Amino acid sequence: MYALNFGAALVKSTHLDNFLIARLKHKEFVYLDVNPGEHTISTESEFGLNELKLLFKAGKNYFVRQYIKMGVFVGGSNLVQMDETKAKKDLKEDDYKLMEFKK
């Protein structure tokens, strides 16, 4: 999962199956090993959480981009699954830093 660099001043929590996994800043990413099956990734928005449900398969890499969107009072964030080629290009070109994930 990586955070798009728009909205650099905002930091939003990101969860996997209701467990906090990151508070990504712009140009940061986190790598997780996830058990196969359906999982829900969620992130803070202005009026609650935005969720992305994905069916994970063993041995496959998945890339999710977190981005900031305009809100009525404050900016919120949303999630989108990204194509592996595009995501790797984004991470390489924009010099992203790996954020350490602590359980």
The tens place of each residue's pLDDT in the chain, 103 residues long, gives 566 655 556 778 889 999 998 888 777 888 889 999 999 999 988 777 899 999 999 999 999 988 887 766 677 788 999 999 998 888 887 677 766 655 5
pLDDT of residue 49: 84
Helix (H, G, I), strand (E, B) or coil at 40: strand
This prediction has a pTM of 0.80
Residue type, 28: E
Report if residue 22 sits inside a domain: yes
Expressed as residue numbers, the domain containing 71 is 2-98
Domain membership of residue 103 (yes or no) is: no
Please state the domain count of the chain: 1
What the block records as the tokens of 43 is 């992130």
39 DSSP β-pair partners: 54
DSSP string, 68-84: EE--SSS-EEEEEEE-H
In terms of Cβ atoms closer than 10 Å to its own Cβ (0-12, 13-18, 19+), residue 2 is buried
User: pLDDT at position 41, please?
Assistant: 95
* CA-based torsion, 3, 63, 17, 47: positive or negative: positive
